[in-house]
Amino acid sequence: MKIINDETYDLAAAEWQYQMILILKCTLEKHGVEKSKLKDICGDFAFDLAMLQDQGEIQLDGKELRPVICFEDSEGSLKYNSTNQSQIHDYAFGNVSEAFGK
């Protein structure tokens, strides 16, 4: 497996986040959350989850782990951000605005 660490990761990560926001938006709508609250809820969630991915750590069996999202392309290459260069939280509110058409 070839590992790629370049700007294509940012594009994939931003699209992944956008798709996650659309799923959350649809789920909240399906469960009757007030339309006036949808954008704020999606924005807060997307930003907080992105901060966990960008700068967060989790503890497991006494070890610190940093969440990392990877993307595999059709040739089996893995797009991976191992250096914290990509900060997906920077895209969160812009992706929410796009998901809400604003």
pTM: 0.87
3-state helix, strand, coil in the chain (%, to 5): 55, 15, 30
Q: Strand pairing partners for 80?
A: 70
Place of tokens 């590992």: 3
- The domain spans of the chain are 3-99
For 14-27, what is each residue's pLDDT tens digit?
999 999 999 999 99
How confident is the model at residue 82, as a pLDDT?
65
Using alpha carbons only, what angle is made at residue 67 by residues 94 and 22, rounded to the nearest 5 degrees?
35
For 57-87, what is each residue's pLDDT tens digit?
899 999 999 888 899 999 998 988 766 677 8
Q: How far apart are the first and last CA of the chain?
A: 40
